[in-house]
Amino acid sequence: MIVHLKTTIGHDEAKRLAQTHQAILTHNTQWHTGFILTLSSKVKELPADLTQYAEDYVVLDTDIQFASRSYQDQKAEVRIAEDLVIGGEDNSTWLMTGPCSVESKAQIETIAALCKTHDVRIIRGGCYKPRTSPYSFQGLGLEGLQILREVADANDLKVITEVRDASHVQDVIEHADIIQIGAKAMYDHGILRACGNQSKPVLLKRGFNSTLQEFVQAAEFILSLGNPNVILCERGIRTFEKATRFTLDLCGVSWLKEHCNLPIVVDPSHAIGYRFGVADLSRASFAMGIDGLLIECHPNPSEAKSDAAQQINQEMFSELAASLRKMAPGIGRRLK
Ligand code: PEP
Ligand code: MN
């Protein structure tokens, strides 16, 4: 249950009520300017002692609460810059591209130039890589963050980059415009809490073994701590199929659109794991009316230090962007 307290209620009183009801206390979100109490979804009736403090309240079926369309039916807006809002109801889909890993300044400058050519506003690149083997390239760390920031600022781009564990979350928060929580980190509560206790936008990837319910509940940790700027990202789940790296769950995307009010981004690159399918999956996802596409692109994919098989080159990206632009009017979307 979500209870909007009357805006006249101060912090001390709100805190006392939260303690009495074992509720989470949040302040000032997109949907309410006063204090908000979130009780377990098992609570189905407004507790009698809260009636005098409550402006209104919503009973919810599950612990998907802030993110639920039953709480707010409008899609949330996540503002990255004055003129860059992901989500909302204006039918925009934002392209985000860049390499799997930041490898050098020259590499990021090449991709920044590609972004400028195609009016792409958001560049990606990982600096702390959650690799499956300890012997693989682990990322450039802080040096990578500095490269991304410097090149992005010189080209008026925004940065999305991932956090692997809670040890460097503050560095990522400081350098990124959008903090990416990777699939393997979806359950890292140190990261979820650090991201919830600040206000920069967060793109939360679905763990590849997580149900949709578990995925959105992870987002609830961030939302309930008071950061409303959460974007969900479907990036493929593990199934019995081995021919592709993962299986892109487009049914899941439909479910999220129907039940959740958060913006939705699809990452086709990690889902299929091979560059041959990235363009088709991007177009299929775009046709579903998603809010963004996160695509891995590298100047020389076969030499990439991570995810070499799935990254596309500039030429493939250019063809893909052109085909998406052609599709946009037919599906009532704006590609940005
Ligand atoms: C990535 O974006 O490079 C990445 C590691 O993604 P995921 O967390 O989805 O595997
Ligand atoms: Mn990758």
Statement to judge: residues 130 and 44 lie in one domain: no
Statement to judge: residues 117 and 190 lie in one domain: yes
Coil, strand, or helix at residue 334?
strand
Would 87 be classed as within a structural domain?
A: yes
Statement to judge: residues 23 and 120 lie in one domain: no
Considering only CA atoms, which residue is closest to atom 4 of ligand 1?
Answer: 182
Contacts of 169 (CB under 8 A, 6+ apart): 163, 179, 190, 191, 194, 195
Statement to judge: residues 196 and 310 lie in one domain: yes
Question: What pLDDT sits at residue 28?
Answer: 75
Question: What pLDDT sits at residue 62?
Answer: 97
Question: What pLDDT sits at residue 31?
Answer: 85
Statement to judge: residues 183 and 253 lie in one domain: yes
Would 182 be classed as within a structural domain?
A: yes
Statement to judge: residues 149 and 207 lie in one domain: yes
CA of 191 to the centre of ligand 1 (A): 15
For residue 183, give the ligand 1 atom closest to its CA: 8
Strand partners, 178: 160
Question: What pLDDT sits at residue 190?
Answer: 95
For residue 294, give the ligand 1 atom closest to its CA: 2
d(C-alpha 275, C-alpha 280), whole Å: 10
CB-defined site of ligand 1, < 6 Å: 100, 126, 130, 162, 182-184, 205, 235, 270
Question: What pLDDT sits at residue 52?
Answer: 97
Statement to judge: residues 110 and 38 lie in one domain: no
pLDDT profile of the chain (336 residues), mean per 10: 96 97 90 94 96 97 97 96 96 98 98 98 96 92 98 98 94 98 96 96 98 98 96 98 98 98 98 98 98 98 97 98 98 97
Statement to judge: residues 45 and 107 lie in one domain: no
Statement to judge: residues 127 and 36 lie in one domain: no
Q: How many CA atoms within 13 Å lie on the side-chain side of 236?
A: 22
Statement to judge: residues 91 and 149 lie in one domain: yes
The boundaries of the domain holding residue 22 are: 2-58
Statement to judge: residues 256 and 107 lie in one domain: yes
Would 143 be classed as within a structural domain?
A: yes
Q: What is the CATH number of the domain that holds 169?
A: 3.20.20.70
Q: How many CA atoms within 13 Å lie on the side-chain side of 180?
A: 30
- The count of domains in the chain is 2
Statement to judge: residues 275 and 237 lie in one domain: yes
CA of 1 to the centre of ligand 2 (A): 38
Would 68 be classed as within a structural domain?
A: no
For residue 101, give the ligand 1 atom closest to its CA: 3
CA of 46 to the centre of ligand 2 (A): 46
CA of 216 to the centre of ligand 2 (A): 22
